Each structure stands twice: as structure tokens, then as C-alpha cells.
Amino acid sequence: LYSLSECVTELGRLRGKGGEERRSFITEFWRNSNRETRFLLHKLLTGGFRVGVSRAVVVKALAKYSGRDEALLAHRLIGRSSPEEFSPEVLFQPED
């Protein structure tokens, strides 16, 4: 069973592969996932994943949750373009 993050990473790896290999992976993931995870996967695959909140609201919530400075968190979120580059550990690590 893959986590959603592992699934997104695997789909990135499969980008240059044939359609049958991608289809097989998605089918296996779908069969072995719960309803909420399947919903998120389909939203990501179709480009329909929109939370509906501004970046500022997300940064404010993360700052409140973590006790970190909003400017620091906003800076750490900039330029993260792939799942491999991002993790909560990186986002919430202590300041240098």
C-alpha cells in the first residue's frame, strides 16, 4: 500500500513509461486505497485539486501550528516543485 506522497512520486517516475504501466499502477493503487485517498489521487491526476484558501492563510495556519515565524515558513515553501524536495521535517526544522 502506497501513501499518497509515494503515489505522486511513483507517478512522476512513470511519466516517461508506457500507458499500460501507468494504468496498472493506478489500478493497483485504487484497489488498495481508502475512499479519501482515491479522491485525492483523482483530484491530483485531473488537475482539479484546489483547496480554495490563499497562500497567506496556509502560511498563517502553519505558523500557528508549529510556533515558527510566518516569514520563515513562507520562505521555506517557495520553490518546492516536487514531493522529493518537501517534507514536514524540512518545513518545521529549527532555524539555523
Tell me the C-alpha distance between 78 and 85, whole Å. Answer: 11
Interatomic CA distance for residues 49 and 93, integer angstroms? 27
Q: Which residues contact 84 (CB under 8 A, 6 or more apart)?
A: 9
In the predicted model, what is the mean pLDDT of the chain? 79
44-48, 70-74, 81-85: range with highest mean pLDDT: 70-74
- pTM for the model stands at 0.46
Does the pLDDT at position 90 exceed 80?
Answer: no
Residue 6 sits at φ, ψ, to 5 deg, of: -65, -35
Q: Are 12 and 22 in contact (CB under 8 A)?
A: no
Contact present, 38 and 30 (Cβ < 8 Å) = yes
More confident residue, 45 or 32: 32
